[in-house]
Amino acid sequence: MVTLAQPTARMPLDADSMRAIIARQPSFGIYKDNYLTVGTALGSKPNEDNSSVKFQISIRQRLNRQELPWHSYLYLFYSQKAIWNVFQESLPMHDLNFNPGIGWTKMLIRDGKVTGSLTLLIEHESNGRDGDDSRSWNKIGASFNHYIDPTLMLHAKAYIPVVVGKENKDILDHIGYVQGGLQKMEPNGRWVFDVTLAKRKGWNLNFNTTLQFALRLKKESTQYLFFQFFNGYGECLLDYNRFASSFRFGMIIRPSHFSVF
């Protein structure tokens, strides 16, 4: 999902204004949140085996400078997420996930105002290992976001697998096909709160839950103090079928708009 510009309480969601902002923005920039955190598993005493560093690097490149037909834009993107066991001897990397892809984003406009966006995605995700620890899949997806008001966004994403690695054939049982959530932003962008729920297989109310809170330390800064709670499966590809509940904190560099999920 690619959001196109940041609507704020001081700026109307005017389609022409959005186009002008996008035209002025660099083609290269942040895609998803970029963060560095440290944390531990909940429900047990922290130790070198259940505590770790988690970080994510995510970038995108807009391929067209001018708007394409249907108020749309084309992007290449790349994200890399890692779980790093820094408290163990020799500081081994637990898992490193690679996520390149391409996306086509269409602005949703009603009565001259931008109400959100729709994105079609082709993604690959793997952890670069072989043997029993190999994890990989390719997927086609669609994401949607809707601005309920200039500081509140509804987001959703659904995808289907194209090729799934033989070592993780049941990944959808644990990660599911769909996710959704809400992101609330303080009018001046001082803090941002998000909840994301990913539905696991089955008809009962079983979700992988991520709660995030970011607090900006300085006015106009893109750096925030960051807190993250995760409960469920799939925090990393290697552990896609292992249940985990963790709390982490650190620093985050956010896009200049609502985050991408």
Domain count, the chain: 1
**236 Cβ neighbours under 8 A, 6+ residues apart:** 81, 83, 94, 95, 97, 127
Task: Please report, for the domain that includes residue 54, its CATH number.
Answer: 2.40.230.10
Asked if the structure places residue 6 within a domain, the reply is no
How big is the chain by its Cα radius of gyration, in Å? 19
Q: For the segment 104-142, what is each residue's pLDDT rounded down to a tens digit? A: 999 998 888 889 999 999 999 999 999 999 999 999 999
Whether 29 is covered by a domain: the verdict is: yes
In-domain check, residue 44: yes
Which tokens go with 199? 């539905």
Query: What percentage of residues in the chain have a pLDDT greater than 90?
Result: 73
The set of residues, in sequence order, having a beta carbon less than 8 Å from that of 29 and lying 6+ positions away, is 59, 60, 255
**Mean pLDDT, range 222-233, rounded to an integer:** 95
Q: What pTM value is reported for the model?
A: 0.90
Q: Is 109 helix (H, G, I), strand (E, B) or coil?
A: strand
Higher pLDDT, 217 or 178: 178
Residue 123 lies in a domain: yes
Domain that holds residue 235: 15-253
Long-range contacts of 16-20 (CB under 8 A, 24+ apart): 16/112, 18/107, 18/114, 19/67
Is 9 part of any domain?
no
As a whole number, the mean pLDDT across the chain is 90
Core vs surface per residue 124-141: b (16+ CB within 10 A) or e: ebbbeeeeeebbbbebeb
